[in-house]
Structure 1
Amino acid sequence: MAGERSNLEKTASTLAQLDRRSREIFRRIVDSYLDNGEPLGSRNLSRILPMALSPASIRNVMSDLENLGLIYSPHVSAGRLPTESGLRLFVDSMLEVGDLTEDERRDIETRVVAGGMARSTDDVLADASRMLSGLSRGAGVVLATKADEPLKHIEFVRLEPTRALVVLVGDDGSVENRLIDLDPGVTQSTLVEAANYLNNHLRGRTLSEARAELLMRQSEARAELDQLTAALVDAGLASWADAAAGRPDTLIVRGQANLLEDVRAAEDLERIRLLFDDIETQKELIRLLGDAEDGEGVRIFIGSENKLFSLSGSSLVVSPYRDTNRRVVGVLGVIGPTRLNYARIVPMVDYTAKLVGRLIR
């Protein structure tokens, strides 16, 4: 969060140094880049600006913008392109994001809800990733985080005198089995009493909620349960934690081939190949998407602001999605070139995250 505050302060400081003329010229350069990826020169700028400025005056303004690190010239005597810092300034303070039209909303809903409301969560997430890829012409990504499912039922089944199986049934129907060691002296009635205690007090709660509940009831539990039963209750809760920790994150990526459409030179192809390698290893992308879970609403990562995109010159537009209890259960978004159509993709990602949140159980 401190890094985000620092970026915002830097953006505000840079923006304060731009007068109306400088902002308009900068905006036109960025708009041209996002539209066609081409540099924009002073002569063409003089034709499209709403104010009368000579090419020489425009070049002076462009020189000031270069000194601020907002634009650069890719070749001698060429026009100008925005730098990553310039794109960040534009996205944070000048981007005009509208709402989706009713037709666009229906299109998204048709693509994601095509199979009906009774499909599995995995099917919904795969369709969302595919839809984002198709509409953005980038790569659609979805991360379903480790589930912290509410508990429906817990049972202890003795296997040997000093070993038992803990059977954990989640609200979603998932079943997890864990082996635990039993203290000498644990009887069948102890197993039943511990299971009854957990089922009575913790059913319907997630692991984090269950831990909080158990802490609140510690003194009450000591009064209700004997030492062996209390130890068995703790073992059951620990087994539940092990089960939750064992569920891996699910990463879905669709439409990677779309990233090749913007390739214009051999070095661009090599950068995209490096990005493909990073996506294949998944670790860095999962970490980046995990970072996005902590934010509210849509977040945008541009180029070398993140290690994953430092070589490929790509951007990520991403938003967390929530279940019916408003818990963040994953993130979804779009990977594409830094010249993504942010104004169009930001509301698309935002609406898709809300839609997926309504569809998942």
Structure 2
Amino acid sequence: MKITAVTPIPASVQLGRLPMSFCFVRVETDEGLVGFGEACDSFGATYAGVIAEIVTQALSPLLVGRELVAVEPVVELLKLSTRRRLGDKGVAAQARSAVEIALTDLVAQAAGRSVSEHLGQVRDRVDVYASSTFLDEGPAPFHADLLAPLLERGVRLAKVRIGPEWQQDLRTLAELRGLLPDDLELMIDGSDTFTLPTAVQIAERLGDLGVRWFEEPIPQANRAGIAALAAKSTVPIAYGEHLYGREDFLDALAHDGISVVQPDASTSGGIAEARAVAGLAAYYGARVVPHICAGPIALAANLALAATVHTINLIEYPFFLAPAWDALGAGEKFGIQAIENGSLPVPSGPGLGVSLADDVATRFPYQLPGARISGTVAGVLDRFVGDR
């Protein structure tokens, strides 16, 4: 089949206190098949318009008119054609991720199989962990109430986020631990906030509470600090949502001492690249738990990733995005009611098993973020500012 059109679709959905943006890609073919992909910038495509322009200006001209038989040669062409101009990381990698997912969707559809069946399915359900909010947003009972609907569906792992007021957050965490079932495992996200001395102190306290991993405690560019923390921490250190491609992950595994890697098919280069990352992680004895914080296409892509890799048995589930998944997606549903015994079913329909609703662009027009900073209150740097 021949690619006839590549169209980015940026959109914004109001979720709670702030709008969250998404960037989808629609790829059409001369056989009438349509594939969908999605990019994630690790808290939704805040600058979805930037990613859309990369797709329009740089990637689409390389794709339209090209025969699509297999995905890998086409994606390799995109990388070779853009790496010296756009680089291999950041928005360039995110845009390529969206295109790779759409092409994978198309090739599986053409074969009459789901993506996971096409790549080699090893499981038909994937366990999820409840990915919740910052501890400073409420007292311990508030957080227990947020997690309760997930626990009722059999979820037995959860993550909460710690911020600059970390001393109070740790007190809230200790109280929350006492409100939750003994068999529920807790993880903590540091959101790139802390200096090394503070991260070491926090990690020690988290070890006392039995926390399973400490995610992104130090800004991801501070690789020496991450390595020093990993050497001192009794809690596994997790990174991955800001790593791009197997080379970036290999460097982090070899030098940073991380023991939980979190690739995201909609960030790290696509489904195939994330599968390659999982293979590297196994060599270093690291656990692989895909990151997810985007729309329904990205979630479906990461479910397919997990369904085709023996060593991936858990994925992130940011339950606050469930209204957006329902509003934006068509096909497989991923809301809380879809969880059974703590797991989601892997879509079995052709391709990804989920597509984009026809009216997304008109019903949810993209809003430029302006001075608003994603993940913050009132558009100011009230988080991610270091120690206090």
TM-score by length of 2: 0.26
Query: Which structure has the bigger radius of gyration?
Result: 1
Name the one with the larger helix percent: 1
